[in-house]
Structure 1
């Protein structure tokens, strides 16, 4: 294999370095904390669109005859009135329920959701007694989402924080473009799970489809079962005591786990052969792929 050589930087590369675009070290970092929400609340500040709610103040929404938009507006209205616990009855697998909630909230959904449920949320704790469709909790920032049954494809797409848990099986491309947080699957997951994963942790208690962790940049995948195959640049790594202690604590919180117990888990990380992909010669690219 030919040795890699670095040519003189182009004008575009020089400018990008001067702008500080190459100074961030991604390895080992978590989400950056830009401000202390508790400190800001003391001075009368909080997140945009957030309301002061009381978890002991409870309300119910019967979604039988309501559109998705009407349900979401009703949730916002109740939060504005200080309700911290909201129960949605008869959701009827409607799409886009509970999106854009930027608030501390205890949200209970008695039934199933359709596509794109709970997207762009930042703060609520959600429990769903039924199933969810495609792209549940897409771009989730913080909080918890617990699904008692199964989930569709692209579960937790581009998630950035919080805990997203499905006790059943999920579809393909789980955690695609994952940027942080934790995704836990109590059962099996489909093909291309963890595709282009960048940060965070994913826990799969069952089996996985083809190309697990394909093109992952960073982050960790734990699997208790067997993957059909690993994707490009996904490699096995050694489990350590910190991995096992973290798994024990996290899985105990949500009462899930593999049939063989914590000892059944194996660890997958990025091989990092694609980090400098553009610098590889054509023959070397073929070897990587």
Structure 2
């Protein structure tokens, strides 16, 4: 395509500018982040086969002596009976607890879980009183998960929606391949957090390890402490009044608001130099990497 002068760019519409700058070769598809939904249109938020549950109807499940499959099946059976609040006792680090719940539920896991807990969920509100292993909330689509203590690596891997919260610190690769939603960390996060991030917001109240936001395509990362280093194409941006208002609301909601407020947070976004990486000349690729 012929080169475009600055004067010509000013006369173009926004869509024409984007095309002229070669930024349309890799477009994310699917639901727009700007669509506003009617909260009264419940049929849009619930699966037609989802059980009708009463949050005031409460029961407990003792995980001792049961397999993960047995516990997860028991959760579904209790939901079919109308139980809206289920407490799992003695989880003792079991893997894959509470996965694949695709409807409303108040789930309390009283203890610690292993790998892949509460993954592939779409709607439940989950509270885990202990620690969690790798990939908690993996591919989460909607709802909330609040972990009271620490979490392992790949916390919120490929998350697509909802709020995933860890009041303590998390391991490396937090939010890897993140596609939406919000991840909140009350403590520190490890290396390569936000790696290949595509959408969504990540908030780290403490420090961040090496290569933060490496190869991120879009989305926003906020860090309240020190950043050991940023990864490829992750750059610092201005913390606006809108950012501060959102941070204040979100952190207050989960009791994570720092005593000194949010003015000290650093905002990291994609530099967007990798958007058209394949079209660059070899010497340009070296400059970016």
State the alpha-carbon separation in 2 of the partners of residues 277 and 200 from structure 1: 22
State the alpha-carbon separation in 2 of the partners of residues 257 and 40 from structure 1: 32
State the alpha-carbon separation in 1 of the partners of residues 96 and 206 from structure 2: 28
1:31–1:178 Cα change, 3 Å:
farther
1:258–1:94 Cα change, 3 Å:
same
Deviations 1:106-127 (A, max 9, x none): 0011000000000100000001
Deviations 1:10-45 (A, max 9, x none): xxxxxxxxxxx969577x941768x97854649xx9
Structure 2 residue 268 is the aligned partner of structure 1 residue 268: yes
SS in 1 for 2:91: coil
Counterparts of residues 152-231 of structure 1 (less than 5 Å) = 152-231=152-231
1:189–1:40 Cα change, 3 Å:
closer
Structure 2 residue 68 is the aligned partner of structure 1 residue 65: no
State the alpha-carbon separation in 1 of the partners of residues 258 and 240 from structure 2: 18
1:164–1:4 Cα change, 3 Å:
farther
**2:12 corresponding residue in structure 1:** none
**2:33 corresponding residue in structure 1:** 30
Which aligned runs of 4 or more in structure 1 are off by greater than 3 angstroms?
A: 21-26, 35-42, 257-260
State the alpha-carbon separation in 2 of the partners of residues 29 and 237 from structure 1: 23
Contact residue 46 and residue 103 of structure 2 kept, 8 A: no
Gapped regions of structure 1 (runs ≥ 5): 6-20
* 1:259 Cα deviation after fit: 5.7
State the alpha-carbon separation in 2 of the partners of residues 207 and 105 from structure 1: 33
Contact residue 37 and residue 46 of structure 1 kept, 8 A: no
SS in 1 for 2:263: helix
TM-score after normalising by structure 1: 0.87
Gapped regions of structure 2 (runs ≥ 5): 4-23
Structure 2 residue 99 is the aligned partner of structure 1 residue 126: no
Cα RMSD (Å) of the superposition? 2.4
State the alpha-carbon separation in 1 of the partners of residues 178 and 97 from structure 2: 22
State the alpha-carbon separation in 1 of the partners of residues 141 and 108 from structure 2: 19
State the alpha-carbon separation in 1 of the partners of residues 166 and 42 from structure 2: 33
Deviations 1:159-216 (A, max 9, x none): 0000000000000000000000000000000000000000000000000110000000
**1:16 corresponding residue in structure 2:** none
**1:256 corresponding residue in structure 2:** 256
Contact residue 190 and residue 210 of structure 1 kept, 8 A: yes
Contact residue 4 and residue 280 of structure 1 kept, 8 A: no
TM-score after normalising by structure 2: 0.87
Deviations 1:200-258 (A, max 9, x none): 00000000110000000000000000111000000000011110010111001110134
* 1:90 Cα deviation after fit: 0.5
